[in-house]
Amino acid sequence: MPMPTDISTYLAQYAHELAERILKLYPPLHSVEDPVSPLLHRLLRKPFKAQAAAVMSIVKKFRESRGGSGVRSG
């Protein structure tokens, strides 16, 4: 296997390994299959599944980071 000479070649050559490593180190906080908060149903426009997953991930990360601060999150 030749040594990559630029970033696009490197990414094409090692994309699968990089993706596996990223998912192992940083697993998703919320999957599109996970249930979402009923509060999302109050929005004027129904978010796409990926948008709902992103919102729920942000909420989970916020709760996690504020967990030890003594501030109640809900």
pLDDT band for 28, please (50, 70, 90 cuts). confident
Q: How far is 8 from 14, CA to CA, in rounded Å?
A: 10
Query: Could you give the C-alpha distances from 71 to 20, 39, 63, 68, in angstroms and in order?
Result: 36, 21, 10, 8
Q: How far is 39 from 21, CA to CA, in rounded Å?
A: 34
pLDDT band for 11, please (50, 70, 90 cuts). very high
Domain boundaries, the chain: 7-66
Higher pLDDT, 6 or 70: 6
> In the predicted model, is pLDDT for residue 19 greater than 90?
yes
Q: How far is 51 from 56, CA to CA, in rounded Å?
A: 9
pLDDT, tens digit, 9 for 90 and up, residues 49-68: 889 999 999 999 998 887 65
Which residues, including other chains, have CB under 8 Å from residue 14's CB and lie 6 or more apart? 4
Please state whether the predicted TM-score (pTM) of the whole model is above 0.85.
no
